[in-house]
Amino acid sequence: MTLHTETLSIRNQKVQLLQGGTGSPVLYLHGLVADIHSLPADGGFTTFHDTLAESFSLYAPALPGYADTAGYDDLENIEDLVFFCLDVLDALNLEKVHLIGTALGGWVATEFATRHAHRLDKFVLINPCGISTPEARIANFFYTVTPKAEGGNDEVRELIFSNQNSELARGAVADEMSPEAQLLFYKAQMVSARVGWTPPSLYNPRLKDRLFRVTVPTLIVTATGDKLVPSALAEIYAGGIPNAEVTQIADSAHAVWLEQPHKAAEAVAQFLNRK
């Protein structure tokens, strides 16, 4: 793993961060579950992020409540996470970055980009939450993660992986987790629910009409087999953001950073490196 764990202290609040690589600075905002900060750090789930760190200086903070980042109790809604990003950029002395957001992080990133586009070089969304339409609805995530008395996480795996029985899927979202993994998984669900449960679930109806404010070059990466965030939503983002393009990645469900880490990292790196 190229990345290493750092701890920031922002106004006396602990912020956990994965960091590594050299090059232009990239701020990466992680997804709902099964991403860095909701999976054990030594589990071998960082190929996508490591690959990006070969070309960029990557900063991947754990959002408040995830992993060891403090601030869950004060968290109320998605707006708080936008301010969290401002705090992190300021603490790292980063005036301008490429911003990448995945799923929940994609929602935060889009809210950020509609307000603070001047802090961004380029903008990348990967299977982002934040927008949902009657034609292409974000799936009922909170129902799916509700545990069953008989145990097992097959429905969660089914929602975010192509094959819920694959070694990868079972490694990331096991039926029987260690207490440590269970805690990380539960924290991820808590924060997701804290900012995303309140109806509407995992999106902001006002966001679509604010996309015009994202004035930087934008790439929207979707996975054709995404059952959580329909890939058709990419067209909404592309239609609203003035300078946007869409890349589709085949043979992957929602967790594209795990299922196709090289293809996804390559698509993102190419876009960010383009003059």
Partner 1 sequence: MKFWMFHLMPWPHLPKDFEDKYDSAWVTCSNSLFDPERGPDVYRQYLDQLVYADELGFDGVVVNEHHQNAYGMMPAPNLIAAALSQRIKKARVMVLGNGLPLYDVPLKIAEEFAMLDNMFRGKFDAGFVVGGGPEYYSYNKNPTFARERFREATELILKAWTDPGPFSWKGKHFQLQYVNTWPRPVQDPHPPVWVPGVGSIETMEFVAEHGVIYAALTYSHVDAFRRNAAYFQETVARVGKSPFHPGMLGWLVPMYVAETDQKAREEAEEHIWYFIDKLLKGFAGKGRTWMPPGYTSLQSLQRLQELSDPGSGHAAVKTWQLGHATSWDDIEAGGSVLIGSPQTVREKLLQYVTEFKVGHILALPQFGSLPDHLTRKNMELLANEVFPYVRKHAGAEFDTAPQCPHGGVEQTSAPA
Q: Which residues bind partner 1 (CB under 8 A)?
A: 142-143, 145-150, 179, 182-183, 186-187, 189-190, 192-194, 197-199
- Which is closer to partner 1, CB of 40 or CB of 225? 40
For partner 1, the closer CB: 201 or 231: 201
Q: Which residue lies nearer to partner 1 by CB, 73 or 135?
A: 73
Pick between residue 109 and residue 184 the one whose CB is nearest to partner 1. Answer: 184
As measured in angstroms, the least distance from the Cβ of 178 to partner 1 is 10
What secondary structure does DSSP assign to 174-219, as a single string? -SS--HHHHHHHHHHHHHHHHHHTSSSTTB-TTTGGGGGG--S-EE
Q: How far is the CB of 141 from partner 1 (least distance, A)?
A: 9
Cα-based distances in Å from 185 to 16, 40, 172:
16, 9, 10
Question: Minimum CB separation from partner 1 for residue 184, in Å?
Answer: 11
3-state secondary structure of 220: strand
- Using the minimum distance from each CB to partner 1, give the nearer residue, 11 or 148: 148
* Shortest Cβ 142–partner 1 spacing (Å): 6
In angstroms, the Cα distances linking 11 to 6, 62, 84, 87 are 16, 16, 11, 9
The torsion defined by the Cα of 95, 50, 107 and 270, in degrees rounded to 10, comes to 80
- How many C-beta atoms lie closer than 10 Å to residue 9's C-beta? 10
Cβ neighbours of residue 183 closer than 8 Å, sequence gap 6 or more = none
The nearest distance, CB 202 to partner 1, in angstroms, is 12
